Chain A
Amino acid sequence: MAKDDNSVRIFQGLLVLGNVVIGMCGIALTAECIFFVSDPHGLYPLLEAAENDDIYAAAWIGVFVGFALFSLSVLGIIGVIKSNKTLLLVYIILMLIIYAFEMASCITAATHRDFLTPNPFLKQMLERYQKLEADNNNDKRMSEEVTKTWNNLMLQNQCCGVHGPSDWQKYASAFRSMYSDADYPWPHQCCVMDARGSPVNLDGCKLGVPGYYNSNGCYDAISGPMNRQAWGVAWFGFAILCWTFWVLLGTMFYWSRIEY
């Protein structure tokens, strides 16, 4: 009998430990997803205009799932220590629901990351940057946001276009129809700026003299943060779910062995 008691205690201890880890991971997931949702790099308008912002939806789900995991882990610890069948049944059912939500978040983040290649950003930049005429207010707002985002991107990262300044020369664009090639072969934000925010030498920039224009593309500055967000949400969530799977199986087994 003592041996039985011991093994039950050990199993209880394992389940409590499992729930403690789930609780801590839940808090970490909430914190991570709040960070991503706050959009520190200001890239959300690009995705919103492309109607491809599901990695942000995945991060939003992650905020709530993380907090729910923490609350449920507390419930689970109480249920295991008290060996209360009702509490544990509630815990298992709610955990299954949260499991499904988190699974949705992981799969969404991983799937929609695949759509973020250079070409959609290039096409959007050419069609929306500095576009003045709009179909409706929403369209106009999105074009303005895209223009603002690109200007910030190009100035802060000292880059130009998606692949490079040649994007503006190779393709027709809303920008090209507004500004002549003679004065603006590419936007002036592509020029090397002095301390006051004006081009060091405008003629050098227009001719493409090395050192007076930024010849590298902005794609790395866009894809870096977005990849980190997508992989952070998808893989951390996956790790939590792998751990939770075993804890849930253990809890179900424990629940089925509790005698009234």
Chain B
Amino acid sequence: MRGNWVVLAFCSLGQLYADQSLKPQIAASQLATNNPSLTTVALEKPFCMFDSSLSPNKSYTIYLYAMMESAIAISSLVTDNRSKPLNSTFQQTNGGQLGPYRAALFNVPNCASPPNLADVGDINKVSDVLKQYLFRVGDDGTRLYDPNFLGVCNPPLAPDSMYRFKYMLVDNADSIMKDQTLWSDPIKTRRVKLPTKIDTWPGRRSGSMIVITSILSAFVFLLLSGFLACVSSAVKGLEDSSEATRHMSQTIQQSEPRLQVSSE
């Protein structure tokens, strides 16, 4: 009985700190199969992660911070000493190598009515579902080079690198951090292999090729030997017959004078 109360107490304690143990998750792999790609990572938006910190009459924004795994040793702070969120950019942090940079701002996702993932089959609804459900870090390849762009830059990530992400809840009125998740588990972007390493040797010869070659070679050999036999027998036949005709003409010549003698 007492054990049950203890378990219940722990559970409710756990609930209080639920948002502190939550981390950004990578988007569902059945939905986004190309994830993470070479330079992008699609993350699930923070559904119901900050609900305990939301007040009904205030407006909030979610900030997304990204940093390389190696930057943990340098700095992983996302706020200054007055709880104001950092405005670091991709360029300032050298792509996340020197510390976290702010990759995106968006509205708090609706916990009461999350998007229905089955709706991605409908071509009219798929854009909305994707936009509501996930955010693609590294999506924007052009903003980095646009000097007029003043918003938040979300340039492509580096391939074959580990990244971590964090969501932060910010009050719009005073721009103070209200709540934040933990840093996500390290997520690694893909790496490429060189095409010159691809082995194009076909391996062994097929059986058909061996059959065709061997049988045809045997046939050609037999045909040529048959042809030579024919020709040589014909030549021999000619020689024999020319000898026979010489014999015959000799016998005729011999018999003709005898005939002449006998007739005389």
Contacts and interface: CB of A to CB of B under 8 A. Distances in A.
Contacts, number: 158
A172 B194 contact: yes
Interface in B31-59: 31-35, 37-40, 42
Given A182-B39, A182-B138, A209-B126, A249 B226 contact: yes
A188 interface: no
A3 to B, nearest CB: 24
A5 to B, nearest CB: 22
Give the interface size bracket for A toward B: 35 or more
A44 interface: no
Given A182-B140, A204-B120, A204-B130, A119 B199 contact: yes
Nearest to B193: A171
A24 interface: no
A256 B235 CA distance: 10
A34 interface: no
Interface in B129-166: 130, 134, 136, 138-141, 156, 159
Interface string B202-229: 1101101100110111011011101100
Contacts of B193: 170-172
A71 to B, nearest CB: 19
Contacts of B196: 123
Interface string A107-130: 100110111110110110011000
Interface string B107-136: 000000000000011010011001000101
B75 interface: no
A207 interface: yes
Contacts of A100: 220
Given A110-B212, A182-B156, A176 B32 contact: no
A234 B216 CA distance: 11
B195 interface: yes
A18 to B, nearest CB: 14
Contact of B195 (A127, A181, A208, A235): A127
Given A180-B39, A203-B127, A208-B33, A92 B227 contact: yes
Interface of A: 92, 96, 99-100, 103, 106-107, 110-111, 113-117, 119-120, 122-123, 126-127, 165, 169-173, 176, 180-183, 185, 200-201, 203-204, 206-212, 215, 231, 234-235, 238, 241-242, 245, 248-249, 252-253, 255-256
Given A96-B227, A208-B34, A209-B120, 17 more contacts: A100-B220, A103-B216, A103-B219, A107-B213, A110-B212, A111-B209, A120-B200, A171-B198, A181-B37, A182-B138, A185-B34, A201-B126, A208-B35, A209-B126, A234-B208, A235-B212, A245-B223
